Amino acid sequence: MNPAVNPDANPDANPAVRLAPEELQTLFLFEELSEEQLGMLSATGEVVDVAPGPLYAEGEKATCFYVLLSGAIALSHRGNGTDDLEVGRTRQRGVYCGAWEAYLGDDAPEGYGSSVRVLEPARFFVLPAWKFGRVVREWFPMAVHLLEGLRIGITEAQELIGARERLLALGSLTAGLTHELGNPAAALARTLGQLQEGLDVLAPPVPVTGAVAVPRDPLGRAEAEDRLLDVLDELGVAEPDDLAPVLVEHGVSAEFLGSLGGRAAVEAYARGLSVRSLVAEAAAASARISALLASAGNYAQLDRAAEGWVDVRELLDAAIEMLGAGAGRAVGNAHVVKDYADVPELLGQAGELGQVWTNLLDNALDALAPGPGTVTVRVRDGDPGVVVEIADDGPGIPPELLGRIFEPFVTTKDVGQGTGLGLDIAWRIVVHRHHGRLGVTSEPGNTVFRVWLPLTSEPPTSELSSGGEQ
The per-residue pLDDT string of the chain (470 residues; one tens digit each, 9 = 90 and over) reads 554 555 554 445 456 889 999 999 999 989 989 999 999 999 999 999 999 999 999 989 999 999 999 999 999 987 655 567 888 899 999 999 999 888 888 778 889 988 999 999 999 999 999 999 888 888 888 877 777 777 777 676 666 666 666 666 666 666 677 767 777 888 888 888 888 787 777 667 666 566 677 777 888 888 888 888 888 888 888 888 888 888 888 888 888 877 877 888 888 888 888 888 888 888 888 877 776 676 566 555 544 456 789 999 999 988 888 777 443 444 556 788 899 999 999 999 888 898 899 889 988 888 887 777 889 999 999 888 999 999 998 888 888 887 777 776 555 554 334 445 678 888 888 988 889 999 999 999 999 999 999 998 655 443 333 344 33
Task: Looking at the structure, tell me whether residues 285 and 403 fall in a common domain.
Answer: no
Q: Given 267, 295, 323, which residue is the final one in a domain? A: 295
Domains: count for the chain: 3
Task: Looking at the structure, tell me whether residues 331 and 449 fall in a common domain.
Answer: yes
- Other beta carbons within 10 Å of 310: 21
The backbone torsions φ and ψ at residue 370, rounded to the nearest 5 degrees and listed phi first, read -90, -5
Q: Given 119, 139, 159, which residue is the final one in a domain? A: 139
Distance between CA atoms of residues 21 and 40, nearest Å = 9
- Spatial CB neighbours of 247, under 8 Å, sequence gap ≥ 6: 228, 257, 270, 273
Task: Looking at the structure, tell me whether residues 121 and 186 fall in a common domain.
Answer: no
Decide if 461 is inside a domain. no
Decide if 155 is inside a domain. no
Distance between CA atoms of residues 198 and 218, nearest Å = 32
Task: Looking at the structure, tell me whether residues 339 and 439 fall in a common domain.
Answer: yes
Distance between CA atoms of residues 4 and 170, nearest Å = 48
Decide if 219 is inside a domain. yes
The domain containing residue 377 runs over which residues? Answer: 309-453
Helix (H, G, I), strand (E, B) or coil at 271: helix
Task: Looking at the structure, tell me whether residues 51 and 105 fall in a common domain.
Answer: yes
- Residue 313 sits in a domain whose CATH number is 3.30.565.10
Helix (H, G, I), strand (E, B) or coil at 86: strand
Task: Looking at the structure, tell me whether residues 330 and 426 fall in a common domain.
Answer: yes
Decide if 469 is inside a domain. no
Decide if 113 is inside a domain. yes
The number of residues in the chain equals 470
Distance between CA atoms of residues 41 and 294, nearest Å = 67
Decide if 328 is inside a domain. yes
Task: Looking at the structure, tell me whether residues 314 and 291 fall in a common domain.
Answer: no
Decide if 23 is inside a domain. yes
Distance between CA atoms of residues 381 and 384, nearest Å = 7
pTM of this prediction?
Answer: 0.41
Q: Given 295, 325, 342, which residue is the final one in a domain? A: 295
Task: Looking at the structure, tell me whether residues 14 and 125 fall in a common domain.
Answer: yes
**DSSP letters for 305-348:** PPPEEE-HHHHHHHHHHHHHT-TT--GGGSEEEEEE-----EEE
Task: Looking at the structure, tell me whether residues 316 and 431 fall in a common domain.
Answer: yes
Task: Looking at the structure, tell me whether residues 346 and 290 fall in a common domain.
Answer: no
Output the pLDDT for position 92: 93
Task: Looking at the structure, tell me whether residues 254 and 370 fall in a common domain.
Answer: no
Tell me how many degrees the CA angle 452-453-459 measures, rounded to the nearest 5. Answer: 115
Nearest to 431 by CA among 404, 399, 467: 467
Task: Looking at the structure, tell me whether residues 289 and 313 fall in a common domain.
Answer: no
Helix (H, G, I), strand (E, B) or coil at 176: helix
Decide if 302 is inside a domain. no
Output the pLDDT for position 116: 94
Distance between CA atoms of residues 49 and 121, nearest Å = 7
